[in-house]
Amino acid sequence: MTLRKLGYALMVSICLGLAASHTAVAGDKAAEAQQAIEQAEKALAAASSAGSVWQLIDKATGSSSVPLDKLLGAAKKKKEAGEFDEAIRIADRVSDAAMLGVEQAESQKGKAEPFYN
């Protein structure tokens, strides 16, 4: 094998190795995004059962506030589009807001209802 062919074979094997590692990283990110979405779904279900589902403003859904379930839908769409980091970011926001909603509902149990004139 000539030196040129050896160099070519080495370059091809390096490219294949990089492609395989990129696929593994993408697979890890996809799994991480799926896990974040599942966590957000559980947190949202808890907030829903507590009767305290918030709305958030997020760049993924525009400039108006949207319910957490719509924001979670945006995270799912981002995951399907291969935008795993953005899907994770959105799902984490949904999880955090849902858990804060649950905490808020629990802290207000047994308190007097608000009075409006």
pLDDT per residue as tens digits for the range 9-44 = 545 555 555 554 444 456 799 999 999 999 999 999
pTM of the complete model: 0.73
CB proximity list for 113: less than 8 A, separation 6 or greater? none
Is the pLDDT confidence value at 64 over 60? yes
Q: What is the dihedral of CA 75, 77, 83, 26, to 10 degrees?
A: 100
User: Residue 72: which of 52, 96, 51, 100 has the closest Cα?
Assistant: 96
Residue with tokens 């070519």: 8
Read off the amino acid at residue 9.
Answer: A
The residue ranges of DSSP E strands in the chain, in sequence order, are 55-56, 66-67
